[in-house]
Amino acid sequence: SASGPVIKDKMNKTFSSRRLEVVSICPSVGELKERWPALFTEAQIIEEFRRITTVSLVETFMLKLDEYTPGLLQLMRAKGGAAGSKMRPLLDTLNDTQSIEKKRDVVICCLISYLGERREDLFHDCQECEDYTDDMMKVIVIHNIMAEEDPSDVFIVIEGNQVMEGCGSRTKACVLLMGLIYALNLEYPKELKNTFDTFQKLFLQLDGAKLLNKVHSLKNKLMQCTHISPLVPRGSFVQT
C-alpha cells in the first residue's frame, strides 16, 4: 500500500524509543497493540525482527527448515517409542504431490513430538473460533468442515489477544510468532522450550553456540545424516 513506506520510515525512526519501552517497562501485549498497531502486521514484524537481529526472518527460517528437512525426516522415521507413534500417521501423509507448505507443516508438527513436547501446547485445532482468552501463546488453526484440506484460518494469540490473523499455514504462523517474541521481548513457553530453541538456533541461526541438550543432540544427529553433512553426495566419484 501507499502508506507502507511511510509506516516503515516512522517505525524505523521510533525503533530505539519503542525498544526501550518494550524492554524496560514490559507493557502488556494489549497495551502494545494499542500503542503500536503497525507492529502487529506481517511486514512490520519482519522489519522489527531485522532491526533487532539483522536477520531476514521468513527467508532464513524457511531456507534452513527446508535444508534440514531431509535429515529431520530420516531421524523422525527412525524414531521409536511414544514419539515415533505420534509422528507416524503424519509422516505417512507425505508424498511427492504434496505442496512445500504442507510438507513444512508436517515437519514442524513432527519436530515438536520428536523433541518430546506436545503439539497441542503450540497448536489449538478447532472447527470454529473458541474462547482463547486464557491462552498465553498459541497458534489457533480453524478447520472448515466443508473444506477438507486446508485450514480456513490460522492466527496467533498472545496473552489472550488475537495478534496476527491470516497466517495461512502452521509454519508461517511459527515464523511470525518468533518475530513477535523478539519484537515484544517475550519468553518462550517452558513446555515448548526445545521446539523454540530449535526455531531460534537451528532455523534462524541466532545464538547457535548455546544449545539446550536435546537441541544439541538433534543438531549433532543432523550433521551425521547423509543429506546434510557432505557437500558432495556419496557415490558421486564412482571410479570406472
Residue 147: its pLDDT value, please? 66
Residue 87: its pLDDT value, please? 96
Give the range among 12-26, 67-81, 122-136, 211-225 with minimum mean pLDDT. Answer: 122-136
- What pTM was estimated for this model as a whole? 0.90
Place 97 in a pLDDT band, splitting at 50, 70 and 90. Answer: low
Residue 128: its pLDDT value, please? 78
140 has pLDDT over 90: yes
- Residue 13 burial (CB count, 10 A): 10
Place 143 in a pLDDT band, splitting at 50, 70 and 90. Answer: confident
Place 127 in a pLDDT band, splitting at 50, 70 and 90. Answer: confident
* 8 A C-beta contact, residue 188 and residue 197: yes
C-alpha 54/C-alpha 40 separation (Å) is 19
Show me where the domains of the chain are located. 3-120+172-224
Averaged pLDDT for residues 110-115: 98
* 8 A C-beta contact, residue 146 and residue 16: no
Q: Each residue of 28-84: pLDDT tens digit?
A: 999 999 999 999 999 999 999 999 999 999 999 999 999 999 999 999 999 999 999
Place 105 in a pLDDT band, splitting at 50, 70 and 90. Answer: very high
Q: What is the mean pLDDT of the chain?
A: 90
Give the range among 132-146, 167-181, 210-224 with minimum mean pLDDT. Answer: 132-146
CA-closest candidate to residue 65, choices 235, 199, 183, 156: 199
Residue 20: its pLDDT value, please? 96
C-alpha 15/C-alpha 25 separation (Å) is 15
Averaged pLDDT for residues 166-189: 97
Residue 184: its pLDDT value, please? 97
Residue 232: its pLDDT value, please? 42
What strands, in cross-sheet order, belong to the sheet with 161-164? 123-126, 137-142, 153-158, 161-164
Place 138 in a pLDDT band, splitting at 50, 70 and 90. Answer: very high
Question: Is the pLDDT higher at 178 or at 3?
Answer: 178
C-alpha 90/C-alpha 104 separation (Å) is 12
DSSP string, the chain: -THHHHHHHHHHHTHHHHHHIIIII---HHHHHHH-GGGGSHHHHHHHHHHHH---HHHHHHHHHHHHHHHHHHHHHH--HHHHHHHHHHHTT--TTS-HHHHHHHHHHHHHHHTT--GGGTEEEESS----TT-SEEEEEE--TT-SSS-SEEEEEETTEEEE----SHHHHHHHHHHHHHHTTPPPPGGGHHHHHHIIIIIS-SSTTS--HHHHHHHHHHHHSTTTS-SS-TTSS---
CA-closest candidate to residue 156, choices 127, 181, 193, 185: 181
Residue 41: its pLDDT value, please? 95
Residue 231: its pLDDT value, please? 46
Residue 151: its pLDDT value, please? 80
200 has pLDDT over 80: yes
